[in-house]
Copies of this chain bind each other. A is one copy, B any other.
Amino acid sequence: MTAPLFTRVAIVGFGLIGSSIARCVAEYPGLAGDVVCIDRSQAVCDRVMELGLAATASPDPALAATADLVVLATPIGAFADLGAVICPHLKPGTILTDVGSVKQSVLRDIGPHVPEGVHFIPGHPLAGTEHSGPDAGFAALFKNRWCILTPPPGANPDAVEKLAAFWRGCGSQLEMMEPGHHDRVLAITSHLPHLIAYTIVGTATDLEDHLKSEVIRFSASGFRDFTRIAASDPVMWRDIFLNNREAVLEVIQRFTEDLTALQRAIRWGEGEKLEELFTRTRAIRRSIIDARQA
């Protein structure tokens, strides 16, 4: 039997993503010897042990010293503080990564704390559900989903390949990207859709009570699809918008211009304009089906 890729994985923040990684290690052979949980919530640590997801679980950041792979899986707003308390414990040769949805801010917040000899390789598995917490994870979460790594210039190629092999072992398809480009692509594919979903569901919650109950009752006609997205973790998403501010504001601006043009077309009865756009968007759906992402 060959040795696993890593001796011990320390997962910092044991929510949906963190607990899914732990389940991958348990279910797929060759990834890691064991998993330890570092979570500031003692209740989460207790639950992780109850679920049998880690060899040990503690709020103590010193536990990171025992691992050769450390995965930061908290909301990204915690990263600056986390970097300061976790990094001093890391031993040389350790790979430090994260699963955050914004990559430039991770470099900014964690980068300065990384000790000499530790390989810092930020990452982002494009996977999730609207559920949170250690009970919500499952090993198949990453299966056939993208995982984007954004290694800094000069990153150790062996360390990058080892981390990529870990994610492939979790079922992911790997992609390397420059962090600024990642943040622009995700602003349109993920952050704007979530912001719009939050907005539209918020607009509905402000309706008069009578109308609101009807909206819930008849939600299957389109609205429902948005509520699933708008049920995603509030703190995680707050941090994403605050940390990808420039790219998100830029796509909101484009979106608003386009919505205003449509609004005007509706007001002035410009049917051809509407039909032309709606025909164009149908073609995009076909491209996604062709790219086997549907």
| Residue of chain B at shortest CB distance from A77 | B271
| Structural contact, B218 and A185, CB atoms closer than 8 A | yes
A114 within 8 A of B: no
Hey, what's the 0/1 contact readout for A217-260 against B, CB within 8 Å counting as 1? Answer: 11111111111111110110111011001001101101110111
Instruction: Decide yes or no whether A211 CB sits under 8 A from chain B.
Output: yes
- Number of A residues, CB within 8 Å of B: 90
A258–B221 touching, CB < 8 Å: no
Minimal Cβ-Cβ distance residue in B for A186 = B221
Are A216 and B291 within 8 A (Cβ)? Answer: yes
Q: A216-B284, A227-B284, A285-B228 are in contact. Are A278 and B238 (CB under 8 A)?
A: yes
Instruction: Decide if A163 is an interface residue (CB 8 Å cutoff).
Output: no
Determine if A214 is an interface residue (Cβ-Cβ < 8 Å): yes
Q: Is A156 an interface residue (CB 8 A)?
A: no
The 10 A-B pairs at the shortest CB distance, nearest first, are namely A234-B278, A231-B285, A193-B222, A190-B221, A230-B281, A201-B281, A189-B223, A190-B222, A238-B274, A227-B285
